[in-house]
């Protein structure tokens, strides 16, 4: 692990201990709000983002800070994301789970510049699992290199997230995969879903909404483990692109197999 990722990992652990775990299963109704219908934010999300932002600013003072909650307040912050060195922060990924006092949830941070993700960290404070990746240097869990291996099941084990799909699109997607994939439980936490693919628990995941803080760290981690992440039409995933639909798979061959199922009638 690089010195920079080690510093980020330490900051994630400190933030979890200081502001997230003390509020886990201890939130009051006043501690939880809706940003949009069904999209929750808690006081712990806000406090976590503040602590992470302050710590990351000390690591690289010239880098911009693009946090989920800051962008919720000012969406214009995303406008120049592809043009600058920036930290992308998800202060709690899986807020719905956290707000309901259940796992999984994670803290996620990525460093990007000029269209490329340079590094990423995903920390699960309940299991203390730390996923790290650096461009062209591999993927690691708690310091051990990870190679994506697939589930080995006859039918691909798929995490198909239909939560943000329209009803007609949801029905069509489920029709396409019926009998061709084994549907897995959806953890409602990208910081859990991407490691599941790398570890062979799932073979693939389909996401409809692709906000950068939800996917940039995990996409790099899976790709560095040997998997593939791309739009359903095969075009590259760019973190500044607010398009919809993202497919991650344990290998390029699995990605192609899944894409054929999902795209063809």
Instruction: List the domain boundaries for the chain.
Output: 3-145, 157-263
Task: Name the packing angle between helices 212-224 and 190-198 (round to 10°).
Answer: 10
Fold of 157-263: D-Maltodextrin-Binding Protein; domain 2 (3.40.190)
User: What residues are paired with 228 via a beta bridge?
Assistant: 249
Query: Under a CB-based contact definition with an 8 Å cutoff, are residues 122 and 217 in contact?
Result: yes
Distance CA 22, CA 69 (A): 20
Q: What share of the chain is helix, strand, coil (3-state, %, to 5)?
A: 40, 25, 35
Fold of 3-145: Fructose-1,6-Bisphosphatase; Chain A, domain 1 (3.30.540)
Residue-by-residue pLDDT tens, the chain, 265 positions: 789 899 999 999 999 999 999 999 999 999 999 888 778 999 999 999 999 999 999 999 999 999 999 888 888 887 767 778 999 999 999 999 999 999 999 999 999 998 899 999 999 999 999 999 999 999 999 999 999 999 999 999 999 988 887 888 889 888 999 999 999 999 999 999 999 999 999 999 999 988 999 999 999 999 999 999 999 999 999 988 878 899 999 999 999 999 999 998 6
Distance CA 190, CA 192 (A): 5
Distance CA 226, CA 212 (A): 21
User: What residues are paired with 221 via a beta bridge?
Assistant: none
């Amino acid at each position: 692990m690089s010195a920079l990722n080690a510093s980020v990992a330490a900051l994630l652990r400190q933030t979890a201990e200081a502001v997230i775990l003390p509020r886990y299963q201890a939130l009051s109704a006043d501690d939880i709000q809706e940003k949009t219908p069904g999209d929750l934010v808690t006081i712990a999300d806000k406090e976590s983002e503040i602590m992470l932002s302050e710590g990351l600013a000390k690591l690289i003072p010239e880098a911009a800070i693009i946090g989920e909650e800051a962008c919720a307040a000012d969406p214009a912050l995303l406008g120049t994301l592809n043009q600058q060195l920036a930290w992308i922060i998800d202060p709690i990924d899986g807020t719905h789970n956290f707000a309901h006092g259940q796992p999984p949830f994670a803290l996620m941070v990525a460093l990007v510049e000029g269209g490329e993700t340079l590094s990423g960290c995903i920390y699960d404070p309940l299991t203390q699992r730390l996923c790290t990746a650096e461009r062209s240097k591999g993927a690691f869990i708690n310091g051990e290199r990870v190679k994506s291996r697939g589930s080995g099941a006859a039918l691909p084990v798929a995490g198909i997230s239909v939560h943000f799909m329209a009803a007609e699109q949801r029905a069509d997607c489920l029709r396409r995969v019926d009998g061709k994939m084994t549907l897995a439980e959806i953890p409602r936490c990208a910081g859990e879903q991407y490691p599941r693919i790398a570890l062979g628990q799932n073979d693939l995941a389909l996401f409809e909404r692709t906000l950068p803080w939800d996917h940039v760290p995990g996409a790099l981690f899976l790709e560095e483990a040997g998997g593939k992440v791309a739009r359903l039409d095969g075009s590259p995933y760019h973190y500044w692109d607010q398009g919809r639909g993202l497919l991650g798979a344990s290998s390029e061959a699995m990605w192609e197999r899944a894409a054929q199922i999902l795209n063809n009638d």
